[in-house]
Amino acid sequence: MLLRLYSFLVLCWDLVYVIVGCLWAIFESFFQFIKPPKEKPVDGEIVLIAGAGRGIGKELAIQFAALGAKVVCWDINEEANKCTVKEIANLEVGSRQAYAYTCDVADREQVMKTGALVRKEVGDVTILVHCCGVPSPRSLVSKPAPEIRKTMDVSIMSHFWILEVFLPRMLELNSGHIVALTSVAGLSGIKDQVPLCASQFAVQGLVEALSEELRATKASNDIHLTLVHIYPFIVSSDLARDIRLRIPSYFGTIDPRDAAQQIISGMRRNYSEISVPGYLLYFGNILRILPRKASVMLRELLDAGVDFG
Ligand SMILES: *[C@@H]1O[C@H](CO)[C@@H](O)[C@H](O)[C@H]1NC(C)=O
């Protein structure tokens, strides 16, 4: 009897603890919305950007360098990658230090080799940014859809290979930050793009599971993960120029420079999940809690708004 009463009291205490904790978390996130936390410095960090040759990856590389970080640029396109490095060397501020490595991230062997080379020549990577395989507007409308295995290799398998190379060292040092980009194809399904959507959802699964794993390993509380949702229709780049869009005329376009800035500032605040533009994350969450019929209607509204001309 007494034991029962005791366990009941313990249960009550746990419940109260959880409820107060939840309320506090909600309050805290509201407060953060009004007054975001201070951004941590990135100068002196070694940032690896996979996919630094163009688009957002390139902008991220340049901005990280401008903030004083050493940047390791990976891309399959040697020419474009060197171009990024040259731009960084010509910057007027920041570290001006960038190193180009040509690497096909889909190929585990190459990732291992290049990773070892980076460690020897530059040092331990402390910030890892993966932006390979994030589809451009062009690839979302191009038909036929990209090949299944290729899509999976570039968009999801490569995460595993890169993490295999760099995560153990981050765990040893108990510090680091991993940033993964995923696109709108990971926000809701898109017709004719099944492999792409599957890969983009997989990235989210990977990040979520990995943060759980790191959370469980108490020692690695100082390794952060940031999942970034990018809305490619809204990010204008040279690739998007020949695609006529209706949605941007309502919401305005974001150029890769602003997008990169938002990503870096979210990362520097240790946010676990952000989106570009910011409201997209809320929209995605609403889509998920709405009844199926309602979310289909909303999706159709979006589809109708995208006019590929
Ligand atoms: C982000 O994480 C780093 C490392 O754990 C920590 O030093 C820094 O204070 C954190 N910043 C914020 C805004 O939480």
SS3 sequence, the chain? CHHHHHHHHHHHHHHHHHHHHHHHHHHHHHHHHHCCCCCCCCCCCEEEEECCCCHHHHHHHHHHHHCCCEEEEEECCHHHHHHHHHHHHCCCCCCCCEEEEECCCCCHHHHHHHHHHHHHHCCCCCEEEECCCCCCHHHHHCCCCCCHHHHHHHHHHHHHHHHHHHHHHHHHHCCEEEEEEEEHHHCCCCCCCHHHHHHHHHHHHHHHHHHHHHHHCHHHCCEEEEEEEECCCCECCHHHCCCCCCHHHHHCCECHHHHHHHHHHHHHCCCCEEEECCHHHHHHHHHHHCCHHHHHHHHHHHHHHCCCC
Looking at residue 297, its pLDDT comes to: 82
Whose Cα sits closest to atom 12 in ligand 1? Answer: 269
Looking at residue 230, its pLDDT comes to: 83
CA 267–ligand 1 middle distance (angstroms): 10
> Is residue 40 lining ligand 1, measured as CB closer than 6 Å?
yes
Looking at residue 251, its pLDDT comes to: 56
Query: How far apart (Å, rounded) are the C-alpha atoms in residues 151 and 253?
Result: 27
Looking at residue 242, its pLDDT comes to: 43
Thinking of the domain 40-305, which architecture would CATH place it in?
3-Layer(aba) Sandwich (3.40)
Query: How far apart (Å, rounded) are the C-alpha atoms in residues 187 and 275?
Result: 10
Structure tokens at 133: 């395989």
Looking at residue 193, its pLDDT comes to: 73
> Is residue 36 lining ligand 1, measured as CB closer than 6 Å?
no
> Is residue 265 lining ligand 1, measured as CB closer than 6 Å?
no
Backbone angles phi, psi at 99, to 5 degrees: -130, 130
Query: How far apart (Å, rounded) are the C-alpha atoms in residues 33 and 7?
Result: 39
Query: How far apart (Å, rounded) are the C-alpha atoms in residues 119 and 286?
Result: 43
| Whether the Cβ atoms of residue 165 and residue 115 lie closer than 8 Å to each other | yes
Query: How far apart (Å, rounded) are the C-alpha atoms in residues 264 and 61?
Result: 10
Looking at residue 136, its pLDDT comes to: 58
CA 172–ligand 1 middle distance (angstroms): 18
Looking at residue 222, its pLDDT comes to: 86
Looking at residue 285, its pLDDT comes to: 81
For a ligand 1 pocket test, name from 223, 270, 271 the mutation site with the most ligand atoms within 8 angstroms of its C-beta: 270
For a ligand 1 pocket test, name from 32, 39, 40, 264 the mutation site with the most ligand atoms within 8 angstroms of its C-beta: 40
> Is residue 177 lining ligand 1, measured as CB closer than 6 Å?
no
Q: Is the dihedral of CA 214, 223, 277, 59 positive or negative?
A: negative
CA 83–ligand 1 middle distance (angstroms): 32
Q: Which atom of ligand 1 is nearest to the CA of 38?
A: 13
Looking at residue 84, its pLDDT comes to: 93
Looking at residue 129, its pLDDT comes to: 95
* Among 169, 77, 94, CA closest to 128: 169
Looking at residue 241, its pLDDT comes to: 47
Domain locations along the chain? 40-305
* Among 109, 114, 103, 108, CA closest to 81: 103
Whose Cα sits closest to atom 5 in ligand 1? Answer: 222
Looking at residue 237, its pLDDT comes to: 52
Query: How far apart (Å, rounded) are the C-alpha atoms in residues 99 and 119?
Result: 12
Amino acid at 101: Y
Query: How far apart (Å, rounded) are the C-alpha atoms in residues 19 and 38?
Result: 28
Low-confidence ranges of the chain (pLDDT < 50): 238-246, 248-249, 304-309
Looking at residue 296, its pLDDT comes to: 80
Which residue shows structure tokens 């968009």?
155
Whose Cα sits closest to atom 8 in ligand 1? Answer: 40
Enter the pTM of the model.
0.84
> Is residue 224 lining ligand 1, measured as CB closer than 6 Å?
yes
